[in-house]
Amino acid sequence: MASCAMTTSEFAFTTVPNCSDESDTKVRATVGQLITRILPKKITSERRRDFRYPYPHLIYLTPIDATGEPLNELSTVVVGKNITERGIDFFHREPLPYRRVILTLEAEDGTRASLVTDLLWTRFTRQGWYDNGGRFLHVLTQNGPC
């Protein structure tokens, strides 16, 4: 990340309502732009639906409770692993008890994107970390979601 001196209070969010079907298009466009800034070329052919890019960057994670309220006081930093236009996987030291989170990604030039993410799976690694993966649902803007 361009500035490691930032605090999680810079990423305080308000309520996170559900968005329309246009969210997928906006998510893919926003993350695609971020990927282009980080890694402009594809590395190898990919057998999966979406091409995975290495994403060895720090990510701000803000949990969302069952009512859709962001839990800003529980924001933390996780370590990115891979990213696609539709989803991401990352490492975390503790198990995450939340299904939905806000992930704030940042490119080296300071461009940020905050995305509501549905966590779909987790694996415990031999090294003592948790490998988590999820699908991006929608982009949060300064004025709210979408």
- Whether the per-residue pLDDT at 45 is higher than 60: the answer is no
Q: What pLDDT is recorded for position 108?
A: 82
- Whether the per-residue pLDDT at 102 is higher than 90: the answer is yes
Q: What pLDDT is recorded for position 114?
A: 96
Burial (0-12, 13-18, 19+ Cβ within 10 Å), 78: buried
CATH 2.40.10 correct for 19-38+50-140:
yes
Q: What is the pLDDT of residues 50-100, one digit of tens each?
A: 788 899 999 999 999 999 999 999 999 999 999 999 999 999 999 999 999
Q: What is the mean pLDDT of residues 2-18?
A: 58
User: Closest by alpha carbon to 35, among 65, 80, 4?
Assistant: 80
Domain ranges of the chain: 19-38+50-140
Tokens describing residue 98 = 């939340």
Backbone angles phi, psi at 129, to 5 degrees: -110, 165
Which carries the bigger pLDDT value, residue 30 or residue 137?
A: 137
Q: What pLDDT is recorded for position 35?
A: 79
Question: CA of 34: how far to CAs of 15, 73, 112, in Å?
Answer: 24, 26, 8
Place of tokens 């960057």: 57
Q: What pLDDT is recorded for position 143?
A: 54
Strand, helix or coil at 105?
strand
Query: Identity (one letter) of the amino acid at 10?
Result: E
Q: What pLDDT is recorded for position 1?
A: 36
Confidence of residue 2 (pLDDT cuts 50, 70, 90): very low
**pLDDT > 70: what percent of the chain?**
78
pTM of the model: 0.70
